[in-house]
Amino acid sequence: MRRVRAAVTVLVLAGATLGTAASTAGAAPAEAPRVAAACPTGWGSGAKGGAATGADHLEDIRTGQHECYDRIVFDVPGGGKIGYHVQYVDRFYADPSGEYIPVAGGAILDIRVGAWSYDLERGVPTYPGKVGKALPGVNISGYKTFRDTRFGGTFEGQTQVGLGVRARLPFRVTQLDGRVVVDVAHSWTS
């Protein structure tokens, strides 16, 4: 009788083990944990500027979202390396009129790019921005960092834009042939 009980116990345990193995064999493998992107944080928030090696006319301003930052790009085809000056300001004023232009956000970047938005020889705009208005064709709704854009105008070969951001965050400026790129980080830490 003991042998029968022992045999039944062994069969019951073996069945339970096989049932567990069968149920886990069909289960989906555990998903690997996502690795967060290593976001750069050493850009700083001080004023940044770059000299020009050529100049032409601003033709487009566009934006994009990235995992670590929001980006605004100034396109100046054929312009070589475009000069720029970018800094945080307390209030945004159009140059040279001194007109105050409200810009929404916790902080404001005053971006100046060394390119006209108007062709003086032909008497036509090369970029359709209107002083004090949002940048045409630029939709920043849903961005993590950008809050508002305002066109400041063009004066003496320089176009000015006010960029409202969530807070005073680190930013970098990259000077490329025919483009100036401004990236504003989503945070101070990765």
- Given a cut of 70, is residue 27 above it in pLDDT? no
Q: Which residues contact 21 (CB under 8 A, 6 or more apart)?
A: none
Tokens of 123: 């008497």
In tens, the pLDDT along 47-82 reads 999 988 777 899 999 999 999 999 999 999 987 889
Total residues found in the chain within this entry: 190
Domain ranges (residues) in the chain:
48-185
Output b/e per residue, 25-44; b: 16+ Cβ within 10 A. eeeeeeeeeeeeeebeeebe
151 or 8: whose pLDDT is higher? 151
48-185: CATH class: mainly beta
| For residues 173-189, average pLDDT | 93
Using CA atoms, how far residue 186 sits from 101, 167, 178, in Å, is 25, 9, 26
In tens, the pLDDT along 31-42 reads 555 555 678 778
28 or 63: whose pLDDT is higher? 63
Tell the burial category of 4 from Cβ atoms under 10 Å away from its Cβ (0-12, 13-18, 19+).
exposed
In tens, the pLDDT along 139-174 reads 999 999 999 999 999 998 899 999 999 999 999 999
Residue 126, pLDDT score: 95
Residue 33, pLDDT score: 53
Scan for tokens 């790129």, then name that residue: 181
CB 148 within 8 Å of CB 103: yes
Secondary structure (DSSP) of 33-65: PPPPP----TT-SS-EEE--S---B--EEEEEE
